[in-house]
């Protein structure tokens, strides 16, 4: 069963995908993403794999006969893909060379461009879930891409805020946010020629860093070769920094925010960025989204961002030192 159901209270679609309950817990001695499994090429570097249990499909089933005059359903049209980062089952993103991460960025870019050709797809969401704490059932290094037939609520809210800021000030909200962070500097972790990594003033998570393009661009297809290389470098250093915080593989959700597709031009006021949501608040304590966060969307961060930014800068220095690089 796969369908969309309209949530009238928040005016958003909910993906009903009961077949995903059948996802297996993989045996420890076999992985479908490893060469030799018969499911992927034997000699790939990076690879796109269609999700075996997609919430959205190019040929979705007809919704169940549950709609009423009040409640709406729709076909679960869209695309769910898996992006395999490497054939190495035990590797992590920060362990790859910058050159290898560029190949991942190139594949993301290729899939963004291809999926955007489908006019029924309105938003392309590239993300990585890392660690059992965030629900990962497959430890092989990979990310995912969802092509939604609607613009998700959080993205809608960002777009509305950015549009309102542009109409009132004539400038990009995310550009202004980045400039203020860089001006004051106490939450900036590191930067390179094209990207800056900081812990936002308003961060909901203790270690919820953003990677923001210094150039006012909206999606991966607009980046040139240097920008893609510097994005790869920023991803390597950010994920390596997180693993260096406490000396163990740090769980996170990495979410790439780009402009919608087939939905009008937002280039004046929207801006490419990546948001991280790591569910740890210390080496041995989890940051839960409890009743306030979940039931009211009223977030409480139990830490001071400026202090956590200092921790992250030190972890970044440790990671660079482990790579033989010092700043």
Cite the active site residues: 142
Q: Could you tell me which residues are beta bridge partners of residue 57?
A: 77
Nearest-angstrom CA–CA distance, 256 and 50? 19
- Cα angle 100, 48, 13; round to 5: 120
Q: Could you tell me which residues are beta bridge partners of residue 73?
A: 5
For the record, the structure tokens of 208 come out as: 């919820």
Radius of gyration (C-alpha) of the chain in whole angstroms: 20
Contact 219, 258 (CB under 8 A): yes
Nearest-angstrom CA–CA distance, 154 and 160? 10
Nearest-angstrom CA–CA distance, 252 and 132? 10
Burial track 15-51 (b if 16+ CB lie within 10 A, e otherwise): bbbeeeeeeeeeeeeebbbebeeeebeeeeebbebeb
The structure tokens 């990207």 sit at 195
């Amino acid at each position: 069963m796969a369908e969309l159901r309209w949530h009238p209270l928040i005016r958003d679609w909910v993906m009903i995908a009961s077949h995903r309950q059948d996802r297996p817990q993989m045996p420890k001695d076999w992985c479908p993403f490893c060469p030799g499994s018969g499911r992927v090429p034997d000699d790939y570097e990076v690879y796109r794999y269609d999700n075996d249990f997609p919430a959205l499909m190019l040929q979705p089933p007809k919704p169940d006969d549950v709609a009423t005059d009040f409640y709406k359903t729709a076909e679960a049209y869209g695309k769910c893909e898996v992006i395999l980062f490497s054939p190495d089952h035990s590797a992590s993103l920060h362990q790859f060379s910058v050159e290898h991460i560029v190949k991942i960025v190139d594949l993301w870019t290729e899939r963004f461009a291809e999926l955007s050709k489908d006019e029924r797809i309105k938003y392309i969401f590239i993300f990585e879930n890392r660690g059992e704490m965030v629900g990962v059932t497959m430890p092989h290094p990979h990310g995912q891409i969802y092509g939604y037939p609607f613009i998700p609520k959080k993205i809608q809210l960002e777009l509305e805020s950015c549009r309102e800021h542009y109409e009132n000030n004539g400038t990009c909200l995310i550009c202004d946010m980045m400039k203020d962070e860089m001006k004051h500097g106490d939450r900036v972790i590191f930067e390179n020629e094209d990207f800056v990594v900081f812990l936002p003033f308003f961060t909901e998570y203790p270690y919820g860093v953003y990677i923001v393009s210094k150039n006012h661009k909206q999606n991966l297809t607009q980046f040139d070769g240097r920008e893609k290389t510097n994005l790869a470098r920023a991803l390597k250093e950010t994920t390596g920094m997180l693993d260096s915080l406490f000396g163990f593989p740090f769980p996170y959700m990495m979410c790439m925010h780009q402009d919608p597709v087939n939905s009008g031009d937002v280039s004046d006021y929207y801006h490419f960025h990546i948001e991280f949501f790591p569910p740890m608040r210390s080496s041995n304590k989890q940051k839960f989204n409890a009743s306030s966060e979940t039931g009211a969307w009223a977030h409480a961060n139990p830490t001071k961002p400026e202090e956590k930014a200092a921790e992250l800068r030190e972890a970044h220095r440790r990671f660079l030192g482990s790579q033989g690089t010092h700043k």
